[in-house]
Amino acid sequence: MEPYISFIILSYNQESFIKDAIIAAFSQDYSNMEILISDDYSTDHTLQIIQETLRTYKTSHKVIIHQNKQNVGLAENLNTSISLSNGDWFVVSAGDDISLSNRVSLIATQIKNNPQAYEIGTGYFEIHGQDITNKRYRGFRDKNCITGATAAWSRILVNKFGPIIKKKAFEDTVYPFRCLLLGQLILIDTPTVKYRLHQQNMSSPITHDAVQGITHLLKLRDNLIETNEQRLLDLEKATDLKLIDKEKYELLKSRIKGIIYLFQRQKVSETLTLKVLKTNDIIKKTKYLFNKNKVHPSFKKRLKTTLLSFKIIRIIKPMRLKKSKNKETPSNHIFRYMIDDLIDEKYPF
């Protein structure tokens, strides 16, 4: 039996890109699905473009349109979308990404072939502006971490753990953790998404100066702290449901608390860094640069950010995670992960 899938598009101030995302959803070659577009109270013309696109382009799929009455953030917008959808699985697309026509059908095949899987991710292409890079990526980051733009999740994850409570949490980090607590996570290296890079990316925007970069990192710390706080809540739920034993529970709990502590410390340090970089006082900047307690492990980083704050040098390339060296044609490799891979740190935490 073909699984019924909800194709969810989450939009917010993406007037330049939303039309392409909708047309891509309409172009899916899988029939047993619905399309739900949820706009998070955009202040530009995103909603008008959504409505105009639906009038212009026709689809045989059921289409649901929703707009929040106020901006609620990514996690809550996803919670709302899931509550309005009817699929056994939901495939999620940002309003600035483009899904290839076989994305849902490829995922549906994996759902049927892997009944113990609760999340499926794929490979992707990157788009810089309007240009598609020639390189292919498996869709994994360091140590094969899933890329959220390619994810599909089983509704069972919501039924078991409930909606995401922490409003700033990254859903594409929360759901893989839930998946591993419950069963298998499947990754395949076939690209199914064109993932767009631009200055408004939530987790990895293109930045060009030190103040902008540190400001983004500070926002990111809040997201990462709440993401791991949500993980702690889900870990408690997994224990109540007897999904993991006490030894694994204690190990994961300790590790997550350690990560939260680390991010909190980094936030304090980055707040000081931002305060110093914003000043034009060269004495303060020099004292910061040569802080005797931190000069050895972080001198190069401090030197770079200090010079950037003076506009002496400039970051030309986007600040990005290390790219995969894999450039060969995708060969439909399948990677399976379970909770023991997380315990053994084969899966990135």
Model confidence at 261, pLDDT cuts 50, 70, 90, reads very high
- Measured CA to CA, the distance from residue 33 to residue 299 in angstroms comes to 54
User: What is the DSSP code string of 74-131?
Assistant: HHHHHHHHHHH---SEEEEEETT-EE-TTHHHHHHHHHHH-TTEEEEEEEEEEEETTE
Quick one: average pLDDT of 275-303? 63
The size of the chain, in residues, is 349
Provide the token pair at 331: 């060969």
Quick one: average pLDDT of 210-236? 89
- Measured CA to CA, the distance from residue 150 to residue 330 in angstroms comes to 15
Residue 227 C-beta-side C-alpha neighbours within 13 Å: 20
Give pLDDT, residue 316. Answer: 38
* Tens of pLDDT, residues 309-348: 554 444 333 333 334 444 445 567 888 888 888 777 666 6
- Map tokens 């859903």 to a residue: 171
**Amino acid identity, position 214:** I
Give pLDDT, residue 323. Answer: 44
100 Cβ contact partners less than 8 Å away, ≥ 6 residues apart: 24, 191, 192, 193, 194
* Tens of pLDDT, residues 137-152: 555 544 445 778 899 9
Give pLDDT, residue 327. Answer: 47
Q: Is the dihedral of CA 282, 284, 288, 291 positive or negative?
A: positive
- How far CA 305 is from CA of 71, 137, 196, in Å, comes to 33, 30, 27
| CB 190 within 8 Å of CB 332 | yes
| CB 21 within 8 Å of CB 9 | yes
- Measured CA to CA, the distance from residue 190 to residue 334 in angstroms comes to 9
3-state helix, strand, coil in the chain (%, to 5): 45, 20, 35
Provide the token pair at 51: 């409505």
Give pLDDT, residue 296. Answer: 41
Q: What is the CA radius of gyration of the chain?
A: 21
- Measured CA to CA, the distance from residue 150 to residue 107 in angstroms comes to 10
* Tens of pLDDT, residues 55-101: 999 899 999 999 999 999 999 999 999 999 999 999 999 999 999 99
Structural domains for the chain: 5-203+324-343 (3.90.550.10), 210-309 (no CATH)
Report whether pLDDT(121) > 60.
yes
Report whether pLDDT(203) > 70.
no
Between 221 and 25, name the one with better pLDDT.
25
Quick one: average pLDDT of 231-256? 95
SS3 for 192-245 is EEEEEECCCCCCCCCCCCHHHHHHHHHHHHHHHHHHHHHHHHHHHHHHHCCCCC
Report whether pLDDT(123) > 50.
yes
Q: What is the pTM of this model?
A: 0.84
Q: Please list, residue by residue across 62-95, b when 16 or more beta carbons sit within 10 angstroms of its beta carbon and e when fewer do.
A: ebeeeebeeebbbbbbbbbbbeebebebbbbbbb
Identify the CA nearest to 34 among candidates 74, 67, 66. Answer: 66
3-state secondary structure of 47: helix
Quick one: average pLDDT of 199-218? 67
| CB 54 within 8 Å of CB 22 | yes
* Tens of pLDDT, residues 160-174: 999 999 999 999 999
Average model confidence (pLDDT) for the chain? 83
User: 335 pairs with which residues across the strands?
Assistant: 187
